[in-house]
Amino acid sequence: MSEPEQPIQPITVESVLIADTKGSFLTRQVPEIQIELAGIPGDRHYGLLRRADARQKIYKRGTMIANRRQISIVSYEECLEIAQRMGLPEIRPEWLGANLIIRGLEQLTLLPAGARLLFPDGTGLICEGENVPCRKPAKMIESLLEQPGLASKFMPAAKKRRGIVCSVEREGLIRQDDTIQIVTAHL
């Protein structure tokens, strides 16, 4: 006799966040976000274009390029794993500058570039790849928790667990508790 199949857990939006405080990458929770082709209006990553930085070594720093970092997404499960690896009770998505925290996808960071994230109203995001761990959130976590030396633990703990960055393919609305369909094959 075979065991009964376990139901597949849906992938859902746990929280919706925005980085709209000038000079800070920290995000705050909101009930929903209106997504435009340039990203989230008022968010620090909003725009069709952005200046090249250290991540784009083929362009001179400051050169205007397409903005492929409009939306930052982390998973609830990966945040728990980062916290565990750092010996902390939690890592909040706000500390990582995330716009969405999702639940139900344990290896979100390994989602391939080009995968589509589709939301109930038709909003579509394109995965542009891993959001590589960097010093800014590491220093912020150390400062917020007032634990000297904690920043050095973040980058190795968050490697392949920091989430993804996305660009917008189709405008719309994303709400807390929305279900997400992920499409990795070309249609």
pLDDT at 125 over 70: yes
Within a domain: residue 160? yes
**What φ, ψ does residue 47 adopt, rounded to 5°?**
140, 145
3-state secondary structure of 103: strand
Q: Which domain holds residue 30?
A: 12-183
Query: So what's the pLDDT on residue 110?
Result: 96
Within a domain: residue 79? yes
Query: So what's the pLDDT on residue 3?
Result: 54
Within a domain: residue 147? yes
Within a domain: residue 131? yes
Compute the distance between CA of residue 163 and CA of residue 78 in angstroms, rounded to an integer: 8
Compute the distance between CA of residue 72 and CA of residue 99 in angstroms, rounded to an integer: 5
Average confidence (pLDDT) over 60-86: 95
Within a domain: residue 87? yes
Number of H helices, E strands in the chain: 3, 12
- Specify the CATH number for the domain of residue 126: 2.40.33.20
Give the position of tokens 């094959």: 185
Compute the distance between CA of residue 7 and CA of residue 33 in angstroms, rounded to an integer: 30
Compute the distance between CA of residue 100 and CA of residue 69 in angstroms, rounded to an integer: 13
Contact predicate 148/109, CB 8 Å: no
Within a domain: residue 3? no
Average confidence (pLDDT) over 73-84: 97
- Confidence (pTM): 0.91
Classify residue 112 by its DSSP letter: P
User: Into how many domains does the chain fold?
Assistant: 1
Within a domain: residue 1? no
What's the mean per-residue pLDDT of the chain? 92
